[in-house]
Chains A and B, each alone.
Chain A
């Protein structure tokens, strides 16, 4: 908002000198207009006196036509103008110190548009601007101070809190040490452990339990209409997959949706156990999933690490309960091809129930023995581990003739 001295309002009639004027605002459009006091109603029609509350004021006929009454107040930037004509002379601006330069509003206005701006007016404007800036500055400082104070108070409160906590922990530690010394009288005497501490402790226990359940492979969460179970499978310490099962409990127990692979006989298991024994149902399903993922993991590992030994493609079905492959075996007299067929007739088991390893019909007898040993190995060890042990055995066999007997290994 920029304040400018008033210009000639009524065009032809010059503003009488020595009269304080209403400052004008430069609007966006570049027009000069009086800011707030609206033009008083013209007396021409009604003859009602204006303003009505000041009876001694003679009616104003035209805006600016009776200059003696137009002693208007220079609007203080801090006081919002609320409209209405102020007929009385305005009180001295409290922001202007008494030894301030002569009232700049009393000076002569420019008689014409675009004339040079007189010095005293410019000074007064500069002064006002400075005042405004000062005001803003002080307000800002005050705010900052307040904020700092607030922050300080907060930090102090926190210090208090932390101290209290430290004391509590110290007390607890002492108590525990005491408790260790006299085990029989283990009582969380708890000199008054606050309700909050107890709650936190309980929450922690529950969290640990949840983690424990997650590690066991079966965990669930209550939902609006039932439970959502999560079954996590693992094979020899490697977590493999998570399957979900959304079970509704009302009006009867029923599976709403799930992500269990289609070839797992979920429906059979559900028919058998779901209505009668939820725990049993979950355990059986878990066994199926765990065994399936275990079998698949073994085959994947085999293909990943021993693809060089495998001959042709490995055949398996979706459930991985029949795995057929051929592999190379290096014996004393060159390399031979074994073919293996692994049956997993127990779907809850990740090791084969039957392993048939066969070699070429014309192979030497020692190879047939070896095949039998391999078959035994497949039934006892995970597939990739069995292969690792074959490789190891062959390595030692290969090394044996190279090293002269008795040489240190």
Chain B
């Protein structure tokens, strides 16, 4: 077995938490059950990784197998990477029968014709997601297995989730290959980034909780009436109810997608009293506002009920899932194009 492959497998195993090692290896399916049973998990991770490498050597693992193990690891721990959403467009209206084998062939051919030294691995998952791992090289050097790009694509959707490698120069090539393989014509970045891949999916696939009015409202628990001391009189009951109602209209009932930050770049003119003579220059007043939180939308949702902000919140904050972006540029009104809420 190649030394590079052995070292790569060893390092991948080292990244997995000890309790999960066996489950990941089982999902990998490369080692037999008896081999897996032989692994002694009651030793240091260093020794476990060496043992796994030894077993892989018995089965003579190659780079392909190692790459699949890496895909499995990244699929289980997608939050370790930063994901960015790209949107593709097509001019025609035809919906094609997406064939996975065709897609693979085209994608691979496109990349390999441009760049000889490149490792491309695919893995299909139950939820119609295709995971693609690309290790980049140059015409003269072998692919670097530690600086990989990841692409997650759901067939027949115009969205691609890309986690780029440190080698950014290959991004245009990757985008081109994607557009061609999935039968689209154009691709652009959507200004929507997060570590939580599933939340990004929820946002662009419209699976997040939205408030829809129907004649058949879902049964919801009325938490407010539980555990309330009847001796306590809520003086601002109607106001609280209003806040709750408005909040529900904006955020819906369910949990919010997980985003870590929202960034607003202000390029607006400074408006001041003309007599005060502050900043009379007709130049944009540049500043950057960044909101960050482990769970930004959930914290925005609880701002108004906690009494820390007026309800409803500014649409600039609440439009994040609707507009599917968390990077904004704010200019004075004359420049602003009327944004459509329906995603294209």
Q: Which residues of A contact B (CB under 8 A)?
A: 210, 214, 219, 221, 223, 228, 230, 244, 246, 254-263, 265, 267-268, 313, 315-319, 321-322, 343, 345, 347
Tell which of B158, B204, B205, B212 touches A244, judged by Cβ atoms closer than 8 Å: B212
Cα separation A60 to B98 with both chains bound (whole Å): 109
- One of B124, B322, B344 near A315 (C-beta < 8 A): B124
- How far does the Cβ of A361 sit from chain B's closest Cβ, in whole Å? 19
Name 30 A/B residue pairs within 8 A (Cβ), A-sorted.
A219-B214, A219-B215, A221-B213, A221-B215, A228-B213, A230-B212, A230-B214, A230-B215, A244-B210, A244-B212, A244-B214, A256-B342, A257-B206, A258-B206, A259-B206, A259-B207, A259-B210, A262-B157, A262-B204, A262-B343, A263-B95, A263-B155, A268-B93, A313-B124, A315-B100, A317-B99, A317-B128, A317-B155, A318-B157, A322-B97
Task: Check B341 against A256 for contact (C-beta < 8 Å).
Answer: yes
**Contacting A321 at CB < 8 Å: which of B97, B100, B341, B344?**
B97
Contact residues of B between 291 and 344, Cβ < 8 Å to A: 322, 341-344
**Can you name the residue of chain A whose Cβ is closest to the Cβ of B129?**
A318
Whether, in the assembled complex, B159 has its beta carbon less than 8 Å from a beta carbon of chain A, the answer is: yes
> How distant is the Cα of A267 from the Cα of B93 in the complex, in angstroms?
10
Q: Which residues of B contact A (CB under 8 A)?
A: 93, 95, 97-100, 124, 128, 154-159, 204-207, 210, 212-216, 322, 341-344
Least Cβ–Cβ distance between A142 and chain B, in angstroms: 25
Closest B residue, CB atoms, query A207: B215
Instruction: Known contacts A316-B128, A322-B97; decide if A221 and B214 are in contact (CB<8 Å).
Output: yes
Return A224 CB to nearest CB of chain B, in Å.
9
Q: How far is the CA of A246 from the CA of B252 in the complex (A)?
A: 14
Is there an interface contact between B341 and A317, defined as CB atoms closer than 8 Å? no
| Chain A residues positioned under 8 Å from B216 (CB to CB) | 214, 230
Question: Could you tell me the distance in whole angstroms from the C-beta of A372 to the nearest C-beta in chain B?
Answer: 22
Closest CB in chain B relative to A311 CB, distance in Å: 16
Smallest CB-CB separation from A260: which chain B residue?
B206
Residue of B nearest to A230 (CB): B214
CA distance A263 to B153 in the complex (A): 12
Residue of A nearest to B99 (CB): A322
Q: Closest residue to B206 on the A side, CB-wise?
A: A259
Question: Would A257 and B95 be within 8 Å (CB), given that A228-B212, A262-B158, A262-B159 are in contact?
Answer: no
B344–A318 contact, CB under 8 A?
Answer: no
Q: A265-B93, A315-B100, A321-B97 given as contacts; is B342 within 8 A of A228 (CB)? A: no
User: Which of B93, B157, B214, B344 makes the CB contact (< 8 A) with A263?
Assistant: B157
**Distance (Å) between the CB of B252 and the closest chain A CB?**
10
A218 to chain B, nearest CB (A): 12
Measured in the bound complex, the distance between the Cα atoms of B90 and A268 in whole Å is: 12
5 nearest A-B pairs in the assembled complex, by CB-CB distance: A244-B212, A317-B98, A317-B155, A263-B156, A318-B156
Do residues B213 and A261 form an inter-chain contact, with CB atoms below 8 A? no
- Besides A230-B212, A261-B205, A262-B159, 12 other CB < 8 A contacts? A219-B215, A221-B213, A228-B214, A259-B210, A263-B154, A267-B344, A268-B93, A313-B124, A317-B97, A318-B156, A319-B98, A319-B155
Inter-subunit contact B98/A318 (CB<8 Å): yes
The CA of A322 and the CA of B102, in the complex, are separated in Å by 13
The interface residues of chain B lying within 8 Å CB-to-CB of A267 are 342, 344
Q: In the bound complex, do residue A265 and residue B215 qualify as a contact, i.e. CB atoms below 8 Å apart? A: no
Among the listed A259, A321, A343, which residue makes an inter-chain contact with B212, where contact means beta carbons less than 8 Å apart? Answer: A259
Contact, CB under 8 Å: A223 / B213 = yes
Shortest Cβ distance from residue B207 to the other chain A in the assembled complex, whole angstroms: 7
Nearest chain B CB to A251's CB is how many angstroms away? 12
User: Which residues of the other chain, B, contact A255 by a CB distance below 8 angstroms?
Assistant: 341-342
A219 and B216 CA atoms in complex are apart in Å by 10
Q: A313-B124, A318-B155, A322-B99 are in contact. Are A254 and B342 (CB under 8 A)?
A: yes
